[in-house]
Amino acid sequence: MLRAMKAEIQLRKGELQNKNLKSLYFGGGTPSILSVDEINSLIDEVLHHFSFEKDIEITLEANPDDLDKSFLKQLAGTPVNRLSIGTQSFFEEDLKLMNRAHTASEAEGSIKRAQDFGFENLSIDLIYGSPTSNLEIWKENLHKTIALEVPHISSYALTVEPKTALENWISKGKVKSPREEEQNREFYYLSDFLKDNGFEHYEVSNFAKPGFYSRHNSAYWKYQEYLGIGPSAHSYNGFDVRSWNVANNQQYIKKLNEKLLAKEEEILSLKDQFNEMIMIGLRTIWGVDVKSLKEKFNDRFLEHFDNETKQKIEDGVLMVENDHLKIPEKHWFMADGIASDLFIV
């Protein structure tokens, strides 16, 4: 797999316009199962074809149970300078429901160990709205996070995916189905509590202390180009082409062994580009740049845009601030629904 990924980097080195990278992200699976030597070898391969900005952000996604002292000690000697830890919760009942391999004590211990080895730029994932949780437990999760001095939090409502153990348990009545009104209440408590503790709510599901925004994810939300390497990885040219690699590991390796790319791509229509610009922009603190929208799209799109936003602005569901269309934060829990009302179908 590593040889195939290095071959893909070699074959696709010409796809990025900017060869000076601002961020590098190891994610989309469990990259913390790699040895430190393997992580370094991938970084070295990228450096063969690209340069790094002096303050590049290099993130490694990790499970708490992978972050033992030996691994962290070695990792501290690499260019990796940010960890995104799949904590999910500091409560055993939540973790069992989510079928997580780590325990609540490992969740907390992994964060403290990472900090002990000099990793201050940490992000953790937290899930709210679980049937095994409630507002009081959620408050305790957040108080624990603040006490641990984690500067970035990504937080999502628990969703029931088809053909999962959770769906099966709910269908058999073993577990209650998540309740939207409870998730709504926990979302707004999350937002208010973190802002009271110095965080900025910069994307619907993301919160950061000043200076700790995810540089990598912010590039996605600002429609910038990115290159994804490995099975299932997605790429975007910053304009009208999106591509994705095959998900099957063996197919991916076979193609790259033959010096062929294992990807498909689509040309985004103007309608696709318009809808994406609306969807992504309205989930962020930056909103949709109305000036850029008007420069990019023709009268048909703009007439639709004006018609669909007028009433929502009057109703206070949308607002225009410094020529950017935004959703007031008190309506962020419904951001996807509000955005979809503006789509061209």
Question: Which tens digits make up the pLDDT trace of 132-144?
Answer: 889 999 999 999 9
Mean of per-residue pLDDT scores for the chain: 93
Q: What is the pLDDT along the chain (345 residues), one digit of tens a residue?
A: 999 999 999 999 999 999 999 999 999 878 888 999 999 999 999 999 999 999 999 999 999 999 999 999 999 999 999 999 999 999 888 888 887 888 889 999 999 999 999 999 999 999 999 888 899 999 999 999 999 999 999 999 988 778 777 777 778 877 777 788 899 999 999 999 999 999 999 999 999 999 999 999 999 999 899 999 999 999 999 999 999 999 999 999 999 999 999 999 999 999 999 999 999 999 999 999 999 999 999 999 999 999 999 999 999 999 999 999 999 988 998 999 999 999 998
- At 114 the three-state DSSP class reads helix
Burial, 106: exposed, middle or buried (Cβ in 10 Å; 0-12, 13-18, 19+)?
buried
Which run of H or of E encompasses 154?
A: strand 152-157
Please name each of the domains of the chain with its CATH number: 18-221 (3.30.750.200), 270-342 (1.10.10)
Query: What is the residue whose two structure tokens read 């799109």?
Result: 301
Distance CA 181, CA 175 (A): 17
Q: How many angstroms from the chain centroid is the CA of residue 150? A: 17
* Distance, first Cα to last Cα, the chain: 40
Record the pTM: 0.92
